[in-house]
């Protein structure tokens, strides 16, 4: 009974907050938050993984970014399906969606997970007070943007951020060191063809390598814009 009361209280709080702040600040703030919100998209971190593996090889950064991302895939995606929470714009009549409507479920927030986990990673690596302050501000802004844009409840973003902290810890302690050591181990079998922390010269002299990199980047960008492309195609057919 007590658990039900807590959930009901949280649900009431969720609805009150999102109804209050959806569209807050008008067009100028909405435009800014849509840009800031991109920092939490999977697209950005997938592009960085390709960058640090094929373009500017850095086994340490790749292993950290990719394992943090992998934990998100293994935790966030199943939780969304299991909990199956409707998005605010699906459950509440007065919510205005101020970006493209997401198709995944609402709880927890992928954006909050990404920005919290990856933000902690870069705060640790750069390790300066200014960077830490900037990371905290970005986490808050991205999390708030999901509420203001009408696509997440407050509990979605709060829980997403906490899971992000957990994902960061597991990645840093267990998975990232293992993957980094594994990559360094395989480097010894490719002596002379491993270009560390420089723009990979194969991009300028190997056509197949260029096709591989461009292909991977294109696939990531296509998947990120798939829904928009389909909508545009359907509109053109109806016209």
pLDDT (tens, 9 = 90+) of the chain, 239 residues, equals: 577 788 788 888 898 999 999 988 899 999 999 999 999 989 999 999 999 999 999 999 999 999 999 999 999 999 999 999 999 998 888 898 888 888 888 999 999 999 999 999 989 888 888 888 999 999 999 999 999 999 999 999 999 999 999 999 999 999 999 999 999 998 888 766 788 889 999 999 899 999 999 999 999 998 888 877 777 777 777 66
In a domain, 89, yes or no: yes
In a domain, 94, yes or no: yes
In a domain, 231, yes or no: no
Residues in the chain, overall count: 239
Instruction: Please give the residue range of the domain that contains residue 126.
Output: 34-201
In a domain, 88, yes or no: yes
Decide if 98 contacts 150 (C-beta within 8 A). Answer: yes
Domains identified in the chain, total number: 1
In a domain, 237, yes or no: no
In a domain, 68, yes or no: yes
In a domain, 9, yes or no: no
- What gap in Å lies between CA 223 and CA 206, rounded to an integer? 26
Decide if 104 contacts 79 (C-beta within 8 A). Answer: no
């Amino acid at each position: 009974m007590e658990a039900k009361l807590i959930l009901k209280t949280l649900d009431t709080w969720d609805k009150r907050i999102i109804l209050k702040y959806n569209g807050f600040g008008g067009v100028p703030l909405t435009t800014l938050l849509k840009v800031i919100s991109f920092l939490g998209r999977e697209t950005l971190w997938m592009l960085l993984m390709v960058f640090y593996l094929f373009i500017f090889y850095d086994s340490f950064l790749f292993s950290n970014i990719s394992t943090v991302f992998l934990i998100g895939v293994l935790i966030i995606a199943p939780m969304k399906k299991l909990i199956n929470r409707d998005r605010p714009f699906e459950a509440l009549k007065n919510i205005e969606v101020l970006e493209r409507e997401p198709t995944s479920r609402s709880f927890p927030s992928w954006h909050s997970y990404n920005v919290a986990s990856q933000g902690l990673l870069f705060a640790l690596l750069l390790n300066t007070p200014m960077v830490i302050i900037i990371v905290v501000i970005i986490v808050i802004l991205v999390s708030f943007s999901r509420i203001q844009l009408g696509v997440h409840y407050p509990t979605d973003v709060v829980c997403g951020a906490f899971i992000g902290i957990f994902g960061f810890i597991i990645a840093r302690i267990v998975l990232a060191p293992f993957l980094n050591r594994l990559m360094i181990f395989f480097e010894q079998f490719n002596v002379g063809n491993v270009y560390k922390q420089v723009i990979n010269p194969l991009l300028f002299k190997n056509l197949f390598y260029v096709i591989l990199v461009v292909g991977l980047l294109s696939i990531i960008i296509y998947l990120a814009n798939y829904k928009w492309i389909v909508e545009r195609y359907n509109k053109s057919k109806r016209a």
